[in-house]
Each structure stands twice: as C-alpha cells, then as structure tokens.
Amino acid sequence: MTRLACFAGVLLLSGWGLGCSHGIAYRFVDTLSKVEPSPAPALAAESALIEALDTASIEPAVYRLAAPQMEGRGRGTPGNAQARAYIVSRLLHAGLTPLFHGGFEQPTFSEHGEGPPYAVNVGAYLPAAEPTASWIVLVAHYDHLGVRSGRVYPGADDNASAVAMLLALGDALGRARPPLRRNVVLLFPDAEEPPDVRTDRMGSVWFWRHPPFPVSTLHCALVFDLLAGRPTPAVRDAGLANAIFLLGAEASPGLVRLARGILPEPGVDPLLLGLPLIEAYPFFPGRRFAQSDYHGLREQGRRPFLFITAGRAATYHTAEDTPDTLDYEKLARLTRWVTRLLVHAAEGPDELGWTDMVADPLADARAVLRLYDSIGSGSQFPWLLRHALIADRGRAQALLHAWEAGAAPTAAEYREFTLMVLRLQGALWQPAGWWFALW
C-alpha cells in the first residue's frame, strides 16, 4: 500500500467524512420503539411443522457443505457444483416442487443475458392450497470464498449454517405438508460473496429480476446469513449469547408485528435493530452497503424483508470458519423459532407495508446499549480502542436520555451514533484492532 493510500485511509477512518458529507437522509420513525405486541397463540400448522422438524440433520449437512472436497464452494468451481447437487438432492428427497419451470436450478447471466451462465441459483417450494396465492421466500446463499492463496475457506457459518437450517425446514415442509395460505419458497442463491456482493452479478439480484412468481405478490422475504458462530466470553457474560438480530423491521409496522408476534422459543433472544446500523460498513460518506441477499430486492422489488443473522464471529471470512466451530444447539433452537416465523408469515395479514430510507433512533439506541454491555471494562481491547469505546458508550447513553426525554433526534446525532456503532461492531469482531479507534 502506498503512503498516499495509507494517509487517505486514516483520514477516512478518523472521521474526515463527517465534515465533507451530510450522510444519508433517513426519515425518523418510531416503528420499533412502540409498545411491543403480545405473542399470538400457536397455529395448527406451526405445531405440525415443529413436530416434523428434525434438527439433528443440521450438523451433518453443515459438515457436508463445508467439507474439504467442496473447496469452499466458490462460484463456478467444481466444489460449488457439488454443493448445488447436494442441495438439489435434499429438496428432491423432501418432495418439494421445483421452483424454476420444472427444475430446481436457475442459471444466471450478465445484465444482457449474454454468454455462458455466470452463477446458478437453487430453489423449491411448497405450493399453497390456492394456485394464485401470494408467496413468501426464505433465502440462504450457498456459495463461499473458495480457495485463496492455496487455502480452503470452508464457510461453515458463512453460510452453510443457514443453508442447513433451510434444508431441515424443507424436510419438515415435505413431511407435514401443511395447507398454508401462501406458497413457501426456499431459495439458495449463488454469487453472494466478494467480488459479487452488491453488484448486478449476485444470483439473488437475477432472481429478484426474474422471479418464479410476480414480485408484486411477494408477501415478504426472510434472508439468513451467519447464524451459528460461537459468542465470545464477553458476549456470554453480557447475557447476549442467545441473541439473534432482526434487521429491517423499522421499514414496516407489519414486519414488527410479525417478528414480535410469535411465541418465544427458549434460548432464542430476538433483538430488532435498524439496517442503517450495519450498512455504514464499509464506511464511505453518503452511502449505504447491503450486507446480504436482500440487496436486489430492496433496489428492484421494494417489498418487505427481514435480514436475520447472529453477526460476525472471529472466524468470519477466514480459513478457520470450520464446522467444528459452530454452536449447533443454538442453531437447533433458532430453527424452531424460524419455523414459527415461517408459519406466521405464510398465514398472516394481507399486506405488511414497507418504506425505504427510515430509521428508529430511539429503538436503535436502546438495543445498542445492550451490546455495549459486552465490552465490560474494556480490558480485552488495546488502550486506544478501549478509551474510544467507553467514551462512545457514555455518548450513546446521553443521546438515549435526551431522546427518551422528548428531544427530537437530528440527522447529525444519528450519523454520529451510527459511526459509534460501526466502531463497536468492528471491535467485537476483531478485539485486537486498535485502528477501530480512529474513526
């Protein structure tokens, strides 16, 4: 890296963008900070699906998808094709209906549809009782980073964990075959990882542009990524070991009712956060960065979605993201919770509503202060970073106190808060990273 590039990077991290850009113009709402709805009673289909669910199948599926012979499932590689064949075999065995004109695979192409296929999506669905019904879709990309510099990147948490969960749900749907109000689609996109993420090359972007059902009839999408990384001791000590983050509900009161209206699952702690809090990474003034396969849906389809994740573990995008590092008990509990969410999405009201470019500062501050508990005294961080995080926590507490007292959040305050949360995320992901203190 040149000295000029290093200097530019330090300027960016140290907040130079604060003075040269007004950031993103979010409209503030109170969608998440309103009183929580009471959970609805369990539905008949919910009980039937949970009874049919075999969570013991999840761990072997992760080991299969992240096996050395899969060579990291890089797009266009033999290992990627092996993983795809395994997913298709599971969907076929479950007795689900092929999603794409009688087939389980959807080749994707360049923007103009020219040349050989770029990637291949996989999908199946359980038909609703009424053929013209609307649909929901559960999404988990199956590709990963492949082999880099001679090392295999297995991608167990990213994203074999979510793929294995959806395959277990597919088995349960095939066994129980509940008569649901909406078609239930399971989608496994390709080409989610760099350099394809947030580009038109993503398999999911092609899917949203060429859906098997009209996108206007999509009730909602549930997008899953990074579900089973083991929490650090500090996170456990803060009581956040069972946290699962639901992002995007601030855009839809209906999504809030959906996420909070299902019966609790022991050992699963849903925490609703605003998407802006994770989309400041990588930081660039005035831009937001989608973190998974909801990118194309938000940009093209503009329909309701939730992004559901346990967050980045220390093994994220490393060769150490192996099957033995995952928390399968947590993943089993989460699968049962997702089963309830699936049924309520498939059976729920006609329209959830959705609005882009909104944020709920009050709810975000309340949730993030729970995350600050995980830094404790900060002794696990280098001095410079520890000092910055403790100062950030005090500032976040002051902002929350002012907003709860009735002060209207300003765009500058929310941008300041978002960048503090960005530092917190980076520090929890890489505790040795002193440079996070610079922005």
Residues contacting 426, CB < 8 A, separation 6+: 281, 433, 436
Q: Which amino acid is at 84?
A: R
Please check whether residue 210 is in contact with residue 127, taking contact to mean a CB–CB distance below 8 angstroms. Answer: no
CA-CA distance, 41 to 178, in Å (whole number)?
17
pLDDT tens digits for the chain (439 residues)? 333 333 333 333 333 333 334 568 899 999 999 877 778 888 889 999 999 999 999 999 999 999 999 999 999 999 999 999 999 999 999 999 999 999 999 999 976 667 899 999 999 999 998 878 999 999 999 999 999 999 999 999 999 999 999 999 999 999 999 999 999 999 999 999 999 999 999 999 999 999 999 999 999 999 999 999 998 888 888 888 999 999 999 999 999 999 999 999 999 999 999 999 999 877 777 788 999 999 999 988 899 999 999 998 889 999 999 999 999 999 999 999 999 999 999 999 889 999 999 999 999 999 999 999 988 888 889 999 999 999 999 999 999 999 999 999 999 999 999 999 999 988 888 888 888 887 6
pLDDT at position 19, please? Answer: 36
135-139 and 146-148: which strand pairing? unpaired
Residue 100's Cβ-side half-sphere holds a number of Cα atoms within 13 Å equal to 20
**CA–CA dist 417, 400 (Å, integer):** 10
- Global pTM value: 0.93
Cβ pair 212, 123 in contact under 8 A? yes
Cβ pair 429, 314 in contact under 8 A: yes
- At residue 439, the pLDDT reads 66
- Tokens 């299969």 correspond to what residue? 64
- Using alpha carbons only, what angle is made at residue 300 by residues 343 and 309, rounded to the nearest 5 degrees? 45
Neighbours of 400 (CB within 10 A): 18
Q: What is the pLDDT of residue 18?
A: 38
Type of residue at 27: R
Handedness of CA 19, 25, 30, 36 (dihedral sign): negative
How far apart, in whole angstroms, are the C-alpha atoms of residue 388 and residue 420? 9
Residue with tokens 């505790």: 431
